[in-house]
Amino acid sequence: MKLPSKKIQITANLTTNILFECDEFLLAEKPAGIPVHETKDPNRLDFTRLLATKLGFPELRTANRLDLGTSGIVLLGKTIDKNKEIDALLKNSEKEYIFLCHGIPEWKEKRFECFIKDGNKEVKIVRSGGKKAITEFRILSTHTKENISFGMAKILTGRRHQIRVMLRELGFPVLGDPVYSLTSETKKEKRMYLHSFRLCFTDFQGEKQWVETEIPEEFLARVGNQLSVQR
């Protein structure tokens, strides 16, 4: 079932949508450009602490981490006594992202498997010594004039920068990616065009749930409001 969302203001300039909420956890939509959790700088605003303050949940904890430039669905536990159960729920869920990428692939669907090794600012695809990573890519539409493609990525493993490094390896990096781009045009983009779009999971009552967001306005504006996703 797709549930209605509730928009709330977390700062003067930032809003979020609460997409799902129960006694143990909630799903909220992180804006692009803000850290999902606390950084080394205690004075820097982060999504989790802002939401915890706004909603009055001091123990609010982020179960999944999105990169600074990635927007979309974040799973947050309300109390620490359910951490293990919430982590298990996330591990067994289906996670789908949407993206805009440079170029137009000759394929419509591709399953990409590799080994990824973590680094400081970026990760690398390696032949040995890394962790297995699997993503299923699907191109939903192409935009020849802009030389851009709109696609969906279903991640079957949860590695850091997984989608971003894989698309770069395939030759079609995420539009606006400051780390894995193959072109200097990245600096001209307003954001990184990667968004956690859909999460399908089984709740603590054994009910199947699927939660998804709207396509971000920046995506629509970038290619002229020509994007759609069918389930």
CB 78 within 8 A of CB 23: yes
**What is the CATH T-level fold of the domain 6-222, as seen in this structure?**
Pseudouridine synthase (3.30.2350)
Amino acid 40: pLDDT: 78
Rg (CA), the chain: 17
pLDDT at 224: 82
Per-residue pLDDT of the chain (231 residues; tens, 9 = 90+): 455 678 999 988 899 999 999 999 999 999 999 999 888 787 788 999 999 999 999 999 999 989 999 999 999 999 999 999 999 999 999 999 999 999 999 999 999 999 999 888 889 999 888 999 999 999 999 999 999 999 999 999 989 999 999 999 999 999 999 999 877 776 788 899 999 999 999 999 999 999 999 999 999 999 887 888 876
pTM of the model: 0.94
Q: Are strands 71-77 and 194-202 parallel, antiparallel or unpaired?
A: parallel
Nearest to 175 by CA among 32, 5, 47: 32
Please give the structure tokens belonging to residue 160: 């850091």
Q: What is the pLDDT of residue 1?
A: 45
**137, 152 Cβ separation under 8 angstroms:** yes
| CA 33 to centroid of chain Cα atoms | 12
| C-beta separation of 143 from 162 below 8 A | no
Domain ranges of the chain: 6-222
**8 A C-beta contact, residue 60 and residue 10:** no
198, β-bridge pairs: 96, 212
Beta carbons of 71 and 19 less than 8 angstroms apart: no
